[in-house]
A and B are shown apart, each in its own frame.
Chain A
């Protein structure tokens, strides 16, 4: 760690870990309910559990992004954060608003729109908080000694993510119009601007971990984020097939969604190629594993499994079924969950001075979390395909089918237990790093492990 103020990232990473643990807990509550065991119904009905599960996901991932930005931007801009105390204020206000939102779901305080369930008054507080965050990041970048492509791509991803939250705050009386703009937020986040953030963070990690020349990495970063927007913007159309929009979305959404895996494939090829080209001398193997994992699993989960049901002819039957949950889990884990883990694995030794680079717990966490998530994906796939076959193709009633597919949720719970073991092991490592320390500051920055051109 080069600058004292980078330590602010620790608060966000720790908060992110706590929320992930809570998210997983609510996932178990939902999986048991799907198996017919909803003993907590009186206190945590399914609609509260699902809102909590989804919003905790969004908040822990964004907390991870914010922590990443507070760590990366001072390093890239070669300066202290513009205001460390304001960054701490931003953290505490973010945490308080997030926790109020989650608690509110249990008292029926909803906005009732998937992924955007946070009630409107809290939306304004979130917006205010994010403005403060962006001011701190932009001021840091502008006062910095240098302005790198990596830093700007990351920052612009964060700025556009904030702007795209706004269409979700407008109320439309027509549910179909409301849904149309809800996807402006959700799709253009996860299959658009969040990929800018992902690209920026991946580029930073690859520059640091592989030793490959910044110019080479940043050139390919432009190509990949270019491909992302080229396919992802009109790829929004796959959400407009069957929600009241005109027929041309079937064609446009179909074509551009089919191109979306290309951007992810580019991301995978980019990371793997940089790794092969690099010198492999950086000691932090855990950070490298999680970085490569992000590139590979995002292609599998977001790219390939997305493609598996975005063709309009297929989506007609799979739309609104557990097939979506199959894609969603591996996509979020592969592209964003794993990315936050990569940043944490990279930043924690630098912030704390404890060189946990390649230990047994860390390796076990890596494998169990990933194997568990692949098992969960398979369980959702089996349940989803059975649901589509029985309900959509053969015409059985929803609740009849729900009974038939209950065993798949048992498999899901087994796989989720393996996944949770991995998460707990990762958190154990997180505790082993200890708290950030000023003694870990390296005024010259981290030594560069030989630049390859």
Chain B
């Protein structure tokens, strides 16, 4: 029968071993995987400003990016290639705030520089490789 001491050893031993494996994989992810997939060399001042604005206005509070955020507004990981920079510019500079199908986006008074920075941020995101996310739709009605 399992004793309390053995149970304690299982807990501490298991935790230490799996935490060590997790730390090893973290180091590899930070030094190999993430740089290969997300091109940190392309994060220039413009992309940094775009990212700053993304956080500052809590865009994740409505949208998702890399599938993370809230589910009230569209996924934006591939918005740059899906909609193009001109469309994004129109959305961000709508005089009364963007109002898609009766919903309201917050009206932001972005400067031209800020709008271009957000577009640059979306372009950087668009070029990241995310193991096939977002998936391509494949379901078609049968003939």
Chain A residues touching B, majority SS:
helix
B66 in contact with A176 (CB, 8 Å)? yes
B14 within 8 A of A: yes
B37 & A245 in contact (Cβ 8 Å cutoff): yes
- Complex-state Cα separation, A394 to B135, whole angstroms: 11
Please tell me if A438 contacts chain B, counting CB pairs below 8 Å. Answer: no
Contacts of A46 in B (CB 8 A): 61-62, 70, 72-73
Given A48, A244, A320, which contacts B128 in the complex, CB threshold below 8 Å? A244
- Contact in complex: B70, A47 (CB < 8 Å): yes
- What separation, in Å, do the CA atoms of A108 and B56 have in the docked complex? 8
- Given A46-B70, A244-B66, A246-B29: A226 and B7 interface contact (C-beta under 8 Å): yes
Q: CA–CA, A284 to B37, complex, Å? A: 56
Binds B, one of A285-293, A339-347, A395-403: A395-403
Q: Mark A163-194, 1 if CB is under 8 A from B, else 0.
A: 00000000001111101100000000000000
Taking a contact as CB atoms under 8 Å apart, the answer to whether B65 and A175 are in contact is yes
CB neighbours (8 Å) of A250 from chain B are 131
Q: Is B10 in the interface zone, CB < 8 Å from A?
A: yes
| Residues B19-56 near A (CB distance < 8 A) | 19, 21-22, 25-26, 28-30, 32-34, 36-38, 40, 43, 48, 51, 54-56
* In the complex, chain B residues whose CB is within 8 Å of the CB of A249: 25, 29
| A15, CB-defined interface residue at 8 Å | no
Task: Tell whether, in the assembled complex, residue B55 and residue A174 are in contact, meaning their CB atoms are under 8 Å apart.
Answer: no
Interface centre among A114, A248, A252, A322 (most CB of B within 10 A): A114
The answer to whether B72 touches A176, judged by C-beta atoms less than 8 angstroms apart, is: no
Interface string of B2-23 (1 = CB under 8 A from A): 1110011011001100110110
The A228-273 residues at the B interface (CB cut-off 8 A) are 229-230, 233-234, 236, 240-250, 252
Q: Is the CB of A117 within 8 A of B130?
A: no
CA distance A100 to B58 in the complex (A): 17
* Complex interface residues of chain A between 197 and 243 (CB less than 8 A to chain B): 215, 218-220, 222-223, 225-226, 229-230, 233-234, 236, 240-243
Verify A110–B61 contact, CB threshold 8 A: yes
Given the known A-B contacts A241-B131, A244-B130, A402-B101, are A223 and B72 also in contact in the complex, defined by CB atoms under 8 Å?
A: no
- Partner pick for A110 among B10, B29, B55, B72, CB 8 A cutoff: B55
**Could you say which of B33, B62, B71, B100 contacts A399, with CB atoms under 8 Å apart?**
B100
Asked if B55 and A113 sit within 8 Å, CB to CB, the answer is yes
Contact among B11, B34, B67, B68 for A229, CB-based, below 8 A: B11
Known A-B contacts: A33-B103, A242-B130, A244-B38. Give 15 more (CB < 8 A). Answer: A47-B60, A110-B57, A112-B57, A174-B43, A175-B38, A219-B4, A219-B7, A222-B8, A230-B18, A245-B33, A246-B32, A320-B71, A320-B134, A325-B71, A395-B137
Sample of 17 A–B contacts (CB below 8 Å): A46-B73, A49-B61, A149-B4, A173-B51, A175-B38, A177-B30, A219-B4, A223-B2, A243-B68, A244-B128, A245-B34, A245-B131, A249-B29, A320-B75, A387-B71, A395-B139, A398-B74
Binding site for B on A (CB under 8 A): 30, 33-34, 36, 38, 41, 45-51, 105, 108, 110-114, 117, 149, 173-177, 179-180, 215, 218-220, 222-223, 225-226, 229-230, 233-234, 236, 240-250, 252, 316-317, 319-322, 324-325, 387, 389, 391-395, 397-400, 402-403
